[in-house]
Amino acid sequence: MKSITKKRTKAYFIDLAISTAVVGVAEYFLRKKVKNEAIHALVTPSVVACTLECAQLLRSGQTVGYKKMGLVLESENGSDLSTNQIIKRTFYRDTFSTFQFIRNRQEFEKSGGEILPHDSYARTVVKEV
């Protein structure tokens, strides 16, 4: 596994831990208002994680995990990241990316971990700072 891929994995787990903590706090307040357990199990974690990631990436191109691991997310063409790019990237990563990676692993390993299926789809690239 390439160095940047390891860093991306560690960054993802850091961001996951942070979003899990935020979900715990959000659920504490939402339990009084929303009684449906499906909302707490499916909707709240997804919405919180996506919102946190989008806000951080729009602000600086880095999440807390990316900053800790020395990574930055950039647009392929060098322009600022758009909201649409970030949402497409997040949605694709959480749905189709794993299947795409398994089916065509050698193609994505050529980029050294800078471009994974969800990056390719959203036209983004992860670089070391």
Global pTM reads: 0.86
Which residue carries 């935020």 as its tokens? 22
Separation CA 94–CA 85 (nearest Å): 14
Which tens digit of pLDDT belongs to each residue from 31-47? Answer: 889 888 888 888 899 99
C-beta atoms surrounding 69 within 10 Å:
21
Q: Which of 19, 113, 13, 127 shows the shortest CA–CA distance to 74?
A: 127
pLDDT band with cut points at 50, 70 and 90 for residue 100: confident
What pLDDT does residue 1 have?
57
For residue 127, the cross-strand partners are 72
Res. 62: pLDDT tops 90: yes
Mean pLDDT of 112-116: 86
Helix 44-60, helix 3-30: angle, nearest 10: 130
